Amino acid sequence: METLTDIQNQPDSRNLAIDRVGVKQLRYPVQIRDKENAVQSTVATFSMAVDLPKEYKGTHMSRFVEVLNSHGPVLDVHSISNLPKELLERLQAKRAHVELRFPFFLNKPAPVTEKAGMMDYEVIFDIDSSKEETEFTVTVLVPVTTLCPCSKAISEYGAHNQRGVVTFAVKFAGEPIWLEDLIRLVETCASAELYSVLKRPDEKYVTEQAYDNPVFVEDLVRNVAAASEAQEGIAWYRVEAENFESIHNHNAYAVIEKAL
């Protein structure tokens, strides 16, 4: 076989290390642990990177895909956790980073009629590894309904409400918490939940529930933060809420981050 020149391994004279270099927007089938059905099959979008010492011109991009493909057509959470360690070995790096984003589906019945509908939530696994330690962060993006307490207080009838998104990131102190439980923690902190199927009795219920439970964006992040601190197994959290305002030409935003 002909010997081909390996440009990536050649020295570089600029004396500048690179913090992260790798591949992005790589889609791959994965299996995620599901509280109800044991596993759920979905498709994740991967980003994988390593650091590059100043001495080397480039990294070997194909090796990222080779490491991922070596696990076969599906991945589970445990093999996902091992991916950065494998990248460290294959690419002779000091730090490796893997991020995967995927839709996670829940069969969610309507609150009154119990008509079933599938709700999807975006989930992010972020894994950062050195040879000594691995840091695993789980993020769920949960859509919610909020109703403005000020609007309710000053209006003779009605109050403006809006849909918002809570981005809830956690690091675990021990065993991971089910994705379903993280999503549920957030949903119970809003004015009302979102559903994919609502008949008229359900719509009446949700509308009145939101009216009876008004929250500012500040209330929302504080509610989620308080619930996080009451939840066993969370070592760190970051809760960010953004309301897509219905009567303003801007969004409302708040964030709390804390190590426990």
Residue range 42-94, pLDDT digits in tens: 999 999 999 988 887 878 889 999 999 998 878 777 788 889 999 999 988 99
244 and 254 Cβ atoms separated by less than 8 Å: no
Nearest partner of 176 among 142, 139, 144, 141, judged by Cα: 139
- pTM of the entire structure? 0.91
Beta-carbon contacts of residue 65 (< 8 Å; ≥ 6 apart):
23, 26
Per-residue model confidence (pLDDT) at position 213: 97
Tell me the angle at which helices 61-69 and 77-91 cross, rounded to the nearest 10 degrees. Answer: 150
Per-residue model confidence (pLDDT) at position 7: 66
Complete DSSP assignment for 224-236: HHHHHHHSTTEEE
Assigned token pair, 63: 């090796």
Report the distance separating Cα 217 and Cα 241, nearest Å: 6
Q: Which residues of 110-123 are buried (b: 16+ CB within 10 A; e: fewer)?
A: bbeeebeeebebeb
Assigned token pair, 99: 């991020």
Per-residue model confidence (pLDDT) at position 166: 98
Assigned token pair, 231: 């939840």
Report the distance separating Cα 216 and Cα 204, nearest Å: 22
Averaged over successive runs of 10 residues, the pLDDT of the chain (260 residues) comes to 68 84 94 83 95 83 92 79 91 93 96 97 96 94 97 94 97 92 98 97 97 97 98 97 95 97
Report the distance separating Cα 215 and Cα 239, nearest Å: 15
Q: Angle at CA 229, nearest 5°, toward 99 and 150?
A: 95
